[in-house]
Structure 1
Amino acid sequence: MAFNITEKLKVPETEGSSKATRWINRDIAPLKVSRRTWNTWTYLGFWNTGNFTAASYSGGSSLVSLGLSIPSTVGVLMIAKVFTVIAAVLNGWVGAKFHIGYTVGQRQVFGVFGSALGISMRIILGVVWYGSNAWMGGLCLGTILSTIFPTFQNMKNTFPEGVNMTTKELVGFLLYQLLCMVLLRIRPEKVAIPIAVSAGYNFFVMLAIVIWARVHAGTIGPLVHTTTTASGSELAWIWLYGITSTFGGIVTGIANQSDFTRFSIKRTDPILGTFLGLWFFSTLVPVIGIITTSCLQSTYGEQYWNPIYVVQLWLATDYSAKSRAAGFFASLGFTIAQIGNSVVENGIPGGMDLAGCFPEYINIFRGSIIIALLSWIVCPWTFYNTSSTFVTVMGSFSVFMTPLIGILICDFWIVRKRKIKLADLYHGESSGAYYFTYGCNFRALAAWTVAFTLNLPGMIHNITPSIKIGSGMYNYFRGNLFFGLAISVSVYYVLCRIWPIEEAGILDECDHFGTWTTEESQVLGIIPYEQVKGTPDDFCNKVTFDRDSEVSEIIVSVDQK
């Protein structure tokens, strides 16, 4: 038999499973009950993997730099997180109910071929933020090595000044990337306990640092006493921009919430965990960062917004056994948090997106490894060591993602009334409910285009201030969270009223994939999988699935009655 390289490259079959096709493999199929392992505590731990990182710790710095006082900064954070929680819960409900991820959900909204738009944006963001988190993770891991090995702490930099990184930083980054690539092998349903434990550990690390800073300084410091420099309407727009930018900092995680809610044991499990993690702790951690920075400013005359720099300060000023031990346990916590952020919040979702693009050849593990490798291309060290326009561009990417979230929510909650035909998400036949026109839903494309286009002038000015625009257009950009959502939802809804979507609000007649228990199927009003198993091909909507194992293979009946 001739050697066929394409066959060798295909996703390997698991024992007793069907082959993956161009539309489906084990990792993007609706999850069966045995793989749904996340409960309320898991979701609390999941959000806290992002909360207890250096990025979240320094979240208050950008708001303070806008000219807001500390009370105003806390107020902006609390209000922004309310909108964040609401958007995350609404957007994640489709995953909790139908157990499909963001990738497949894009087919539902933009069409089986038009879904490439939303998937491509998520892949790009996944690569960038994976690289950013990996660089910060490398600094954290390097700090651990510095606490153990004096030679590493005093390692000589062999790079010229123009490289924008040191030898020690590169070593930490490389080791961190290799460590994450090993951990990417862990399947999402297996991370529930590790992320909950790591979140608890990192919470106490944060508390220990702020307590130390307060005791060490003997004062709360000058930063907390700063006053708001703006007034009148400009202050209102700064508040609006602060809320928008805070929302934008996590917009990618909100957009792909269904990637994680699909693992929920019960439909309501993500709600409380999301509220506590995304509102309470997500607000608390930046406050800890503000207090710590203020205390240290009174002692050292500088603002240390990055907690790993605080640990490095310990080592630089006192390399005693006591200081090294404290530095080790603190940097261990930050390293674990970065790993959780890189693997769970960036690597796995990116792997799912690539798996959705090429199901025959890419699964979650292969896709996440590709994301990790591509993250080198964006040169993440420039994000932290130079004034990078690229960072400003990526920070403004919410103008594209926020309208997308609005359309996703409108489509599922209003247009489809929380009902989806799962079977039609996994084939590209023109008779399918998500084929629309040439495989694209031009209603969604039009609504998204209108919403983000209005923000482009303000985005361009934000990136290049020398390009002047009217104050109205810039203020529209500063409030793009509210304007982008309102425009995208309104335009999409109106277009769906004028040009109704066929089969909107219709469920499958039966459970093709073994997604629900018998009781859940009865609540939904569909025939349970156990009753469908073994029936003729045309029993249920002329489509059946080989679902005896964990991988589905679509079989479309030739006879289109």
Structure 2
Amino acid sequence: MPASSGTNTRDFMCFFLFWLISLPAIWFPIHKIRHLFTLKAVVAPIAGITFFIWCIVKAHGVGPIIHQPATLGGSDLSWAMVSSIMSCISNMATLVTNAPDFASRARTPAAAGLPQLISVPLGFSIVSFFGIIVSSSSQAIYGEAIWSPIDLLGKFLDGEPSHATRFGVWFIAASFIIAQLGTNISANSISAGCDLTALFPRYINIRRGGYIAAIVGLCMLPWNLLKSSNSFTSYLSAYSVFLSSIAGVMIMDYYVIHRGHYNVKDLYHAQKDGWYHYTYGINFRAYAAYIAGILINVVGFAGATGRSVPLAATRIYEMSFFTGFGVSALVYYALNVACPVRGAGECTRFKEVDVSLGQGVAGAEVGQGRGSEEFESDKKSAVSEGVQSVRSRA
């Protein structure tokens, strides 16, 4: 392949083979694909720890990172730390916005909340630490810091590696394939499938949406994002500009505007009196807030692409997740104060409850004054309608 393509024949064929391997996994529904994540949860930590120890042993230590002096100081060091933290948060931005795709399958709120509260910060911190030490060790071994674990594994095979080295590289690489496959399915295929299903429920289900995402992922030439560590971190920062605005609107609407109240039954009809009808099915308040959250970072984003921009814009962009999140949330709140969405004015206190099941917005039963049998029938009907609609689109 020509150099202008951004890759070579070997790397493209490997990517294409991985893309093909991903296609069968997209076919399975969410509740069945969990076995892949169980396998990932076993082999990925073993491979990561093995790789970590192996690099330290080969380097006879953790490399120069522990002893080398700082090259930055003062405000430059502080903003470099802020930028690095934003890159880490940007890596988790997809989890923030896509968590409902999986949390909706949980039996209790704690089943979704506690594992994420513990595993996400702890897991990301450990993996980041491993990556830093492995990269530092590579500098001691080969005289250069190799940030990509794939490239470093390739270095292990240079010369005449032993059978043990070949097996170790194979095991770690195979484990990384399983880990990446799980990440690809959870963060890309299922999430895209759920979003596209919500947009076009008559034509697209989660499975079809996943395959559409797979085609788009191939067409966008993703290998260009991995040309260097700077390209990858710049992409992550830009990615968070768009996702942070979505998260700001979602959290403000659920926790502040509707105070935990939701209406499952209204999700499955287009009647004008439904909570989610808005204006012909479009919540223009959310779109306006989303765009406002993006605009606050646009100038700084232009600076990240090489344009000359004011320092203040660069600083705002370096905090892109918080600035985008905060601006979109505040704008959405202001627009709802000026023009409230349906159901918002009735929510006087926070309580996570489905009002379509007859539980009132203030905790009282909407079904009071009717017979208990009629009330229970309405509750079962609402649940049945929602479940049947979800199953027909899965």
TM (normalized to structure 1)? 0.61
1:509-528 paired onto structure 2 within 5 Å: 509-511=355-357
In structure 2, give the amino acid aligned to 1:167: T
What corresponds to 1:474 in structure 2?
314
Mapped partners of 1:191, 1:367: distance in 2: 16
CA-atom RMSD in angstroms: 3.2
Unaligned segments of structure 1, at least 5 residues: 1-158, 513-522, 555-561
What corresponds to 2:183 in structure 1?
341
Distance 1:208 1:387, change over 3 A: closer
Q: 2:53 matched to 1:211?
A: yes
1:497-516 paired onto structure 2 within 5 Å: 497-504=337-344, 505=346, 509-511=355-357
Q: 2:325 matched to 1:485?
A: yes
Deviation for aligned residue 1:393? 5.6
What corresponds to 1:496 in structure 2?
336
Mapped partners of 1:390, 1:235: distance in 2: 21
Mapped partners of 1:548, 1:262: distance in 2: 13
What corresponds to 2:273 in structure 1?
431
Q: 2:138 matched to 1:296?
A: yes
In structure 1, give the amino acid aligned to 2:337: R
Deviation for aligned residue 1:546? 5.8
Of 193-202 and 390-399, the range deviating more from structure 2: 390-399
* Kept in 2: contact 1:508–1:526 (CA 8 A): no
Mapped partners of 1:548, 1:411: distance in 2: 21
* Kept in 1: contact 2:87–2:233 (CA 8 A): no
What corresponds to 1:283 in structure 2?
125
Distance 1:482 1:217, change over 3 A: same
Distance 1:162 1:386, change over 3 A: farther
In structure 2, give the amino acid aligned to 1:250: M
In structure 2, give the amino acid aligned to 1:490: L
Mapped partners of 2:121, 2:297: distance in 1: 27
Q: SS state of the match for residue 264, structure 1?
A: coil
* Kept in 2: contact 1:351–1:367 (CA 8 A): yes
* Kept in 2: contact 1:393–1:463 (CA 8 A): no
Mapped partners of 1:263, 1:275: distance in 2: 17
Q: 2:323 matched to 1:454?
A: no
Deviation for aligned residue 1:268? 0.6
1:127-146 paired onto structure 2 within 5 Å: none
Aligned residues: 378
Deviation for aligned residue 1:347? 0.9
Q: 2:302 matched to 1:463?
A: no
In structure 1, give the amino acid aligned to 2:162: S
Distance 1:168 1:273, change over 3 A: same
1:44-193 paired onto structure 2 within 5 Å: 159-193=1-35
Q: 2:247 matched to 1:405?
A: yes
Deviation for aligned residue 1:383? 2.4
Identity of aligned residues (%): 26
Q: For residues 451-508 of structure 1, what are the alpha-carbon distances to aligned partners after superposition, in whole Å with 9 as ceiling and x for unaligned?
A: 32121111111112xx322222221121223322222222222332233333125665
Distance 1:161 1:238, change over 3 A: closer
What corresponds to 2:350 in structure 1?
none
In structure 2, give the amino acid aligned to 1:289: G
Distance 1:220 1:534, change over 3 A: closer
* Kept in 2: contact 1:389–1:463 (CA 8 A): no
Distance 1:427 1:305, change over 3 A: same
In structure 2, give the amino acid aligned to 1:269: A
Mapped partners of 1:471, 1:223: distance in 2: 30
Determine which of 69, 81, 88 is the counterpart of 1:239: 81
Deviation for aligned residue 1:215? 1.5
Deviation for aligned residue 1:262? 0.8
Deviation for aligned residue 1:389? 7.5
Distance 1:162 1:449, change over 3 A: closer
What corresponds to 1:10 in structure 2?
none
Of 430-439 and 453-462, the range deviating more from structure 2: 430-439
Deviation for aligned residue 1:265? 2.0
* Kept in 2: contact 1:164–1:386 (CA 8 A): no
Q: Relative CO higher for 1 or 2, CA cutoff 8 Å, sep ≥ 6? A: 1
Mapped partners of 2:329, 2:357: distance in 1: 30
Unaligned segments of structure 2, at least 5 residues: 348-352
Distance 1:532 1:301, change over 3 A: farther
* Kept in 2: contact 1:351–1:371 (CA 8 A): yes
Q: SS state of the match for residue 274, structure 2?
A: coil
Mapped partners of 1:490, 1:533: distance in 2: 39
Q: For residues 218-255 of structure 1, what are the alpha-carbon distances to aligned partners after superposition, in whole Å with 9 as ceiling and x for unaligned?
A: 13211333333333333333222222222122212211
TM (normalized to structure 2)? 0.85
* Kept in 1: contact 2:248–2:328 (CA 8 A): yes
Deviation for aligned residue 1:552? 5.8
Mapped partners of 2:99, 2:286: distance in 1: 19
* Kept in 2: contact 1:308–1:334 (CA 8 A): no
Q: 2:106 matched to 1:264?
A: yes
* Kept in 2: contact 1:224–1:290 (CA 8 A): no
Of 362-371 and 382-391, the range deviating more from structure 2: 382-391
Distance 1:435 1:163, change over 3 A: closer
Q: For residues 18-76 of structure 1, what are the alpha-carbon distances to aligned partners after superposition, in whole Å with 9 as ceiling and x for unaligned?
A: xxxxxxxxxxxxxxxxxxxxxxxxxxxxxxxxxxxxxxxxxxxxxxxxxxxxxxxxxxx
Deviation for aligned residue 1:533? 10
Mapped partners of 1:387, 1:224: distance in 2: 21
* Kept in 2: contact 1:237–1:479 (CA 8 A): no
Distance 1:533 1:353, change over 3 A: farther
Distance 1:208 1:552, change over 3 A: closer
In structure 2, give the amino acid aligned to 1:474: T
Mapped partners of 1:487, 1:473: distance in 2: 15
Q: 2:150 matched to 1:308?
A: yes
Distance 1:408 1:160, change over 3 A: closer
* Kept in 2: contact 1:511–1:532 (CA 8 A): no
Q: SS state of the match for residue 261, structure 2?
A: coil
Deviation for aligned residue 1:435? 2.1
Mapped partners of 2:81, 2:229: distance in 1: 25
Q: SS state of the match for residue 316, structure 1?
A: coil
Mapped partners of 2:135, 2:232: distance in 1: 27
Mapped partners of 2:355, 2:64: distance in 1: 65
Q: For residues 143-191 of structure 1, what are the alpha-carbon distances to aligned partners after superposition, in whole Å with 9 as ceiling and x for unaligned?
A: xxxxxxxxxxxxxxxx344443333223322221121101111211123
